[in-house]
Structure 1
Amino acid sequence: MASSPTEKGQYLIRIVRSGIGCLRIGENLFLLRPGAAFIIRPGEVKSVIPLKEMAFLDFLLTAETAALMRANAPAFKDQEVRIVPEKMLPRLEQLVCECQEEQKLQRPGSQLAVLEKQLAAERLIFQKGTDPVKADGKIAQSLFFITENYVRDVTLRDLAGQQGMSISYYRRMFRQLLGGSPIDCLLDYRLLQAGKRLAESDAPIAG
Structure 2
Amino acid sequence: MSVPVVIALHYQNDVLHEAGRIKVGLGDDDVVRANLISGAKRLLLGARERGWPIFHVRVAYRPDYADLGQNAPILRGVAKLGAVVDGSWGADFLEDLKPLSSEDEFVVTHKRINAFYGTILENLINNFNTKQLIIAGVATHSVVESTVRHAVDCGFEVTVAADACASADNEVHVASLKSMSLIAKISNVSEVMEELS
Larger Rg: 1
For normalisation by structure 1, the TM-score amounts to 0.26
What is the TM-score with the length of structure 2 in the denominator?
0.27
Identify the structure with bigger relative contact order (alpha carbons < 8 Å, sequence gap 6+): 2
Query: Would you tell me which structure has more helix in proportion to its own residues?
Result: 1
